[in-house]
Amino acid sequence: MKQIVSILCILVYAVTAYAQHQTILALEEIPLIRLEEFNMEATLKEDDKKGYINRFASLVKKETAFLQAAGKSQLSNGEFIYELRLQIPNADGMAVILHDFLLDETATLMAYDLHSKKVLNYQAKDNPSNGRFLLGPFVSSDIIIRYTTANEDRVPFTIASWLPVYKSINQQSRDFGDSMDCQSNINCDEASVVAKEKRAILRLLCVTELGLFWCSGSLINNTAQDGKPYVLTAFHCADGLNPDYSMWRFNFNYEFNSCDDATEPAFQSYWGGSFRAGSQANDFLLLEINYDLPAELHAYFNGWDRTDNIISPFSHFVHHPEGDVKKYARDDDPVNVWDNWLHWNNNVSSPPNTHYVVRYDLGSIEPGSSGAPLLSSEGLIIGQLHGGQASCSQSMNSFYGRLNLSWDIENGMDHTGLEPWLDPIGLGVSSLPGMENPANTAAANVSGHIRNHEDEGVAQVKVYLDSFPYISTTTDENGFFHLLGVPRNMTHTIKFSRNENPTNGVSASDILRIQKHLLGIEPFSESYQSIAADVNNSSTISAIDMIEIRKLLLQINSDFPQSNSWTFEPKELSIAVNANDINDLIIEGIKMGDANGSADPK
């Protein structure tokens, strides 16, 4: 009887302690706004009719004043918290566009995905110059936006538009893992011939008034060789869509480290671009990223060849089909000019002799590949993908706007060609080699290991910089991580996240082990055990934790509601990055619920 009383006393204390930590609204108390206007069937019909084959999110304009809609509470330190929950029924995910986004120095904006538990944080340093900000996309259509500030009733943004994310008409989600089976990963042996050139290829998240689209593109060199981050892509990625280039995102290094498929890799992302040149006639678009690219990004600037009569015995193609990780394709035959008209599904027609045609022997194009460069046998850009037919079973025609025809044009929209941008010093050359990113000493490398209590590497941990440029990576099987391009002379916060397979290492023996600890029969001997046992994140160990573990094992709950499947000690790092790189950081990874240390860290 005494043992039972002891456990009940601990239970009461734990509930009290947990209540004291609840300084924000409970989920059911947060005001909820649902977007009922999204019609999946109508959206898919519109895609089919208008040829939006690479759109994965539509846009619904619905303005919501966040301050008036959100629930308000106050912390003990005097700060105010405003929370709002957003849902889109029948959508597979969502994003929102904020207007008048201007955080002051006391404010933090957090967005929380209720499905994946992904958290995004923003501060004053993230303010866009024009006040327009894309939040997301998220894999869930159920999110919470939380705004914290010391200034009451001063919420500097409005929700201007909602972006329901949806699957395509063939039920693909147009993202990681959705390209066709015949696509070859970029780090397979056959792609070694473009080891440099592939580092220039980007995945583009195109933000327009009609929604979000995936395209591909390439960094491209200029005769000044000054590292200006020009990106060549396809004009139809923006044509007639009213694009907002200030919100476009440029994803670098989204690829598997080896030839084999693996878990989704991390990538580096920069957002905000500016229009430089473009033409509908042969479908080229030149943008400039609004940020200098650090050398540690290992970016490469592809060279180009604007010769009129290209002689290339074979050609390469590096792209992001369906918005998937980077892939490689190859045509073993000479590049030819297409001598017929081309009629596209967006009611645009291209005259004869404006495009190259290739038929791939390895790989294929797909939606999302648009804008990726056609590389000659010498690895130089000679055109960019306009369109064609996708197939794994047979070789089909793919068409590329010719770079030489994009050079010195002028059209009715007063857009110049590529010449003033790619030959700013007037060399008049017909070709230019690629180059490495010019030296940039304003960035550092930060690396280390995440290990468990037995000094085993913890794999699949997302390690990310919680500040611009939002650099992230994922630990390998040895728990090693390497953040590239971390700005110097600043203090950065590094965070860690792994939230999958919550039952890994969790069994009834863990409940028994926690019970023995609570009763004083066999107290925990290692610090990780106390952290692992506190699954309700209350800073105490109690019978409530045992109940939560039992709910997980009985499949009443699919996860631990108050914690991710893994936690880390320390939970985050604040480090000052100055002149030197930072190496050999050691973080401990702890599997929640695993009080006896049996979880597989891989």
- Domain enclosing residue 470, as ranges: 2-14+441-591
Looking at residue 76, its pLDDT comes to 87
Last residue of a domain, one of 414, 436, 458: 436
Q: What is the DSSP letter of 28?
A: G
Count H helices, E strands: the chain? 7, 40
Residue 587 within any structural domain of the chain: yes
Q: What average pLDDT does the segment 316-324 reach?
A: 95
DSSP, collapsed to helix, strand or coil, labels residue 553 as helix
401 pLDDT higher than 80 = yes
Q: What is the CATH number of the domain that holds 219?
A: 2.40.10.120
Q: What are phi and psi of 464, to 5 degrees?
A: -145, 150
Looking at residue 14, its pLDDT comes to 29
d(CA 184, CA 188): 7
Percent of the chain with pLDDT over 70: 92
- Render pLDDT for 370-380 as a digit per residue (tens, 0 to 9): 999 999 999 99
Residues 423 and 445 in one domain: no
CA distances from 546 to 74, 523, 550, 555 (A): 32, 15, 6, 14
d(CA 389, CA 407): 27
Q: What average pLDDT does the segment 530-539 reach?
A: 96
Tokens, residue 148: 């914290």
The count of structural domains within the chain is: 3
5 pLDDT higher than 50 = no
Residue 115 within any structural domain of the chain: yes
Looking at residue 580, its pLDDT comes to 85
Residues 234 and 91 in one domain: no
Lowest-pLDDT choice from 427-441, 512-526, 534-548: 427-441
Q: How many other C-beta atoms can be found within 10 angstroms of the C-beta atom of residue 15?
A: 16
- Look at the block and give the residue holding tokens 């939380």: 146
Q: What is the mean pLDDT of the chain?
A: 88
Looking at residue 474, its pLDDT comes to 84
Residues 514 and 421 in one domain: no
Identify which has the larger pLDDT, 577 or 85.
Answer: 85
Lowest-pLDDT choice from 187-201, 233-247, 327-341: 187-201
- Look at the block and give the residue holding tokens 């970029």: 186
Residues 419 and 523 in one domain: no
pLDDT band at 9 (very low <50, low <70, confident <90, very high): very low
Q: What is the CATH number of the domain that holds 153?
A: 2.60.120.290
Looking at residue 4, its pLDDT comes to 30
Residue 46 within any structural domain of the chain: no
Residues 239 and 333 in one domain: yes
Q: What average pLDDT does the segment 333-360 reach?
A: 92
555 pLDDT higher than 50 = yes
- 263 by Cβ neighbours in 10 Å (0-12 / 13-18 / 19+) ranks as exposed
CA distances from 476 to 177, 482, 489, 601 (A): 19, 10, 28, 11
Looking at residue 148, its pLDDT comes to 94
Q: Is the four-CA dihedral 562, 565, 570, 574 of positive or negative sign?
A: negative
Residues 476 and 511 in one domain: yes
- Render pLDDT for 432-483 as a digit per residue (tens, 0 to 9): 999 888 855 566 889 999 999 999 999 989 888 775 455 678 898 899 998 8
Looking at residue 379, its pLDDT comes to 97
pLDDT band at 15 (very low <50, low <70, confident <90, very high): very low
Lowest-pLDDT choice from 220-234, 320-334, 467-481, 507-521: 467-481
pTM of the model: 0.69
Q: What are phi and psi of 138, to 5 degrees?
A: -110, 155
Contact 204, 233 (CB under 8 A): yes
Residues 271 and 418 in one domain: yes
pLDDT band at 415 (very low <50, low <70, confident <90, very high): low
Residue 44 within any structural domain of the chain: no
- Render pLDDT for 231-250 as a digit per residue (tens, 0 to 9): 999 999 999 999 999 999 99
- Look at the block and give the residue holding tokens 């030296």: 439
Residue 173 within any structural domain of the chain: no
Residues 133 and 210 in one domain: no
Last residue of a domain, one of 409, 436, 463: 436
Beta pairing, strands 80-87 & 32-34 = parallel
CA distances from 515 to 462, 537, 566, 593 (A): 32, 17, 21, 13
pLDDT band at 295 (very low <50, low <70, confident <90, very high): low
Q: What is the DSSP letter of 177?
A: T
Residue 53 within any structural domain of the chain: no
Residues 427 and 454 in one domain: no
- 229 by Cβ neighbours in 10 Å (0-12 / 13-18 / 19+) ranks as buried
Residues 331 and 391 in one domain: yes
Contact 371, 204 (CB under 8 A): yes
Residue 505 within any structural domain of the chain: yes
**Partners of 289 in the β-ladder:** 273
Looking at residue 169, its pLDDT comes to 57
Q: What average pLDDT does the segment 311-336 reach?
A: 95
Q: What average pLDDT does the segment 390-418 reach?
A: 83
Q: What average pLDDT does the segment 498-517 reach?
A: 95
Residues 197 and 150 in one domain: no
Looking at residue 153, its pLDDT comes to 79
Beta pairing, strands 472-474 & 462-465 = antiparallel
Residues 197 and 131 in one domain: no
128 pLDDT higher than 50 = yes
- Render pLDDT for 195-212 as a digit per residue (tens, 0 to 9): 889 999 999 999 999 999
Last residue of a domain, one of 436, 462, 497: 436
Residue 8 within any structural domain of the chain: yes
